Amino acid sequence: MNIVRTIADLKKDIRHFKLDHHSIGFVPTMGFLHEGHLTLARKARTENDTVIMSIFVNPLQFGPNEDFERYPRDEERDIKLAEEAGVDLLFLPSVEEMYPEEPAVTLTVHKRTSALCGLTREGHFDGVATVVMKLFHLTEADRAYFGKKDAQQLAVIHGLVDSLNVPIEIIGVETVREPDGLAKSSRNVYLLPEEREKAPAIYRALQLVKKSVEAGEADIALLKEKARRMLEEEGGAEIDYLEILSYPELEPADSASGTIIAAAAVKYKNARLIDNIILPVKGSASCSAQ
């Protein structure tokens, strides 16, 4: 595995891949790798000649009171895990390398951000879209892999690629979970032991929505109320949101046809966790992967 830290070195390697007509699969991450990230990398490995992973904690997508400074980092371990997952090129740029000066142009996301994390994380998805667009240009990838755990992010990336005609295929990958259902996340390390015990209630509450929908329940308000009650009773956390919306539009689900998302964000003492499930509405045949 080749490790590069500068854009100049990255471009040199990309030139060789392109000369060899390699297809390039790209996995953008913020590091502190776990099975979720590695699943993305392994899928990219099976579908492309060359796999590039980036590890970059992007300051543009963190608010002033968020956890940019204390976001977990372990470069040595990440290098080992990325190599084991079959990554060919690991791009590890510094903040100065990515943003040598204040950018003259950044992106603004206009749709799919007025709900869920977009409500409280102002500017977050603009920062995500901007860095992802830079990374798409830098890697010249054919395919990019994103986790459905960050379903709103995935919806925004689909919007970005569609709106700006970015020549890349976006692949959504199922959420990887701990055996007790908790979605794997770099931020799980910040859970206190008693919080870690209770956190699987997030997934249980989402599963309750799924089972109720499958049993024929179509009243969105009732579904939300049932799930919220379970999460309040068992989650041991402050609920930031528990929503059921259309997906990928993220609009009120009452009139949804096709696919809905049940999504939750909860705040523990040192970590804010998100999770979701995406499911077809009754009577609809498809559950789109967007």
Written as one string, the DSSP assignment of 164-216 is TT-S-EEEEEPPPB-TTSPBP-GGGGGS-HHHHHHTTHHHHHHHHHHHHHHTT
The verdict on 158 binding ligand AMP (CB under 6 A) reads: no
Query: Restricting to residues 117-156, which ones interact with ligand AMP according to CB under 6 A?
Result: 146-147, 149-150
Q: Which of 185, 188, 246, 290 binds ligand AMP (CB under 6 A)?
A: 185
Least distance between ligand AMP and beta carbon 151 (Å): 8
Least distance between ligand AMP and beta carbon 33 (Å): 8
Q: Which pair of structure tokens corresponds to residue 179?
A: 């055996």
Q: Using DSSP, state whether 263 is helix, strand or coil.
A: strand
DSSP at 101: S
Nearer to ligand AMP, 243 or 275 (CB): 275
For the chain, how long is the longest CA-to-CA vector?
58
Least distance between ligand AMP and beta carbon 72 (Å): 10
Residue in 16, 21, 34, 37 annotated catalytic: 37
The separation between the first and the last C-alpha atoms of the chain, rounded to the nearest angstrom, is 31
Nearer to ligand AMP, 17 or 146 (CB): 146
Nearer to ligand AMP, 37 or 198 (CB): 37
Task: Give the residue carrying structure tokens 């603004």.
Answer: 108
Give the list of residues 6+ apart from residue 64 with CB closer than 8 angstroms, or none.
Answer: none
Name the phi and psi angles at 199, rounded to 5. Answer: -60, -30
Q: Which of 183, 264, 271, 274 binds ligand AMP (CB under 6 A)?
A: 183
Nearer to ligand AMP, 30 or 231 (CB): 30
Task: Give the residue carrying structure tokens 């939750």.
Answer: 264
Angstrom distance (rounded) from CA 139 to CA 28:
10
Are 158 and 248 spatial neighbours (Cβ–Cβ below 8 Å)? yes
DSSP at 281: P
Q: How many residues bind ligand AMP (CB under 6 A)?
A: 17
Query: Restricting to residues 22-41, which ones interact with ligand AMP according to CB under 6 A?
Result: 29-30, 36-37, 39-40
Nearer to ligand AMP, 40 or 237 (CB): 40
124 catalytic residue (yes or no): no
Query: Restricting to residues 211-240, which ones interact with ligand AMP according to CB under 6 A?
Result: none
Using only C-alpha atoms, what is the Rg of the chain?
19
Nearest CA-CA partner of 277 in 252, 225, 226, 242: 242
Least distance between ligand AMP and beta carbon 189 (Å): 12
Nearer to ligand AMP, 62 or 224 (CB): 62
Binding mask 39-58 for ligand AMP (x = CB under 6 A): xx------------------
* Residue numbers at the binding site for ligand AMP (CB under 6 A): 29-30, 36-37, 39-40, 146-147, 149-150, 173, 175-176, 183-186
Residues assigned a catalytic role: 37
